[in-house]
Amino acid sequence: MLQQSSSSQDILTFICLICSKEKELVAVGECEHRSVCSYCTMKSRLHYDYKKCPICLKLLDIIFICELNDKTPYKTLVSKKDEFYQDEEFEKCGIYYTTIEGKEEALKLRGYNCPIKNCYSKSFESMDSLSKHLNKKHKKFYCQYCLEQNKLFISQMKIYNKSNLNAHIKYGEYDGNQLVCPPHPSCPFDNNTFYDEEQLFKHMNSDHFICQICRDKKNYIFFSELQNLLAHHKSNHYCCPYEECLADIYVVYKKEEELISHLITKHKIQNASERLNKLIFDKKKEDENKELHHENGEFNFTEYIKDLKEQSEYHNKNEQYAFNNSNEQYYDEYEDYNYNHN
């Protein structure tokens, strides 16, 4: 939908199909649909690697960011592409800017600029140099987990003092009652911290051991070492007492009937139900003095995430979240580098 801006210059604007904001710069691809703004185009291509038109779903390898009143056909834009400005990450996003204003808007959004007002050291060549400047000069910090995983541009990232950063990591961040950034959970075995529960869950599955029986019950319990998992199997589930099966983490059952069936088919035991109690009793007696105490190697992921969310909600409700309160004390120090229309 087209409309005239209320500014004195009466700049032609439109409402972006994706973000529903009033914009001036539009993306043009081979399909000629002109309905998505420059910001949403950059975000979908750089953060989500999505290059299809939202209307016709045609894959668009190359996109031109134009002023709305520029009606140049796509084929003509392609023929003149050497006259335009390539995005700094063109190989990844395939974006050309037909005006210097479009390129500058992208640089402002994604550039490594110090967000502190009246700072003389404004621009930096890398994220590392900007972070070092903020730490040393202003005693402010970015959240490294958000930098790695959050789908925001650098100019949209918040900075924190040390206490606010710790609160942000522990409790996440809210806009009113809406969680906008999750608490950053940690692995209890190696102390690695992750952006959200999905990233932690991937880590736990790849680097540690999970009980498949508990998992089937939607109770995700992980173990630091294999022997901790085996001890859990013996204490909580039905394990085959024979040595050839004890070392196999997959020979464990939910029900006694399943184990009895295994004993009959695998080990050819007759009267398996009667002999099972003696076999298990003898095995437990044998292991009494050598069985590992495994509680320290056990991590109930399900309970941990539940507690994390409850703590986050409680903190937001009763403390009004420490970062939002203290942020007001130094808010005026910041240059407004955030993309104001998003």
Alpha carbon distance 75, 84 (integer Å): 14
Stated pTM of the model: 0.74
2 has a pLDDT exceeding 80: no
**Which of 5-14, 87-96, 305-314 is predicted least confidently?**
5-14
Share of the chain above pLDDT 90, in %: 55
Look at residue 123 in the predicted model and tell me its pLDDT: 86
Question: Taking residues 316-330, what's their average pLDDT?
Answer: 56
The winner for highest mean pLDDT among 72-76, 149-153, 278-282, 318-322 is 72-76
Q: Which amino acid is at 256?
A: E
Look at residue 279 in the predicted model and tell me its pLDDT: 53
Residue 258's pLDDT band, with cuts at 50, 70 and 90, is confident
User: Which region holds residue 52: left if phi is over 0, alpha if psi is between -120 and 50, else beta?
Assistant: beta
Q: Are 153 and 128 in contact (CB under 8 A)?
A: no
Alpha carbon distance 272, 285 (integer Å): 19
Strands 95-97 vs 63-67: parallel, antiparallel or unpaired: parallel
Any idea which residue has 């939908």 for tokens?
1
Look at residue 277 in the predicted model and tell me its pLDDT: 57
Q: For the chain, what is the radius of gyration of the CA atoms?
A: 29
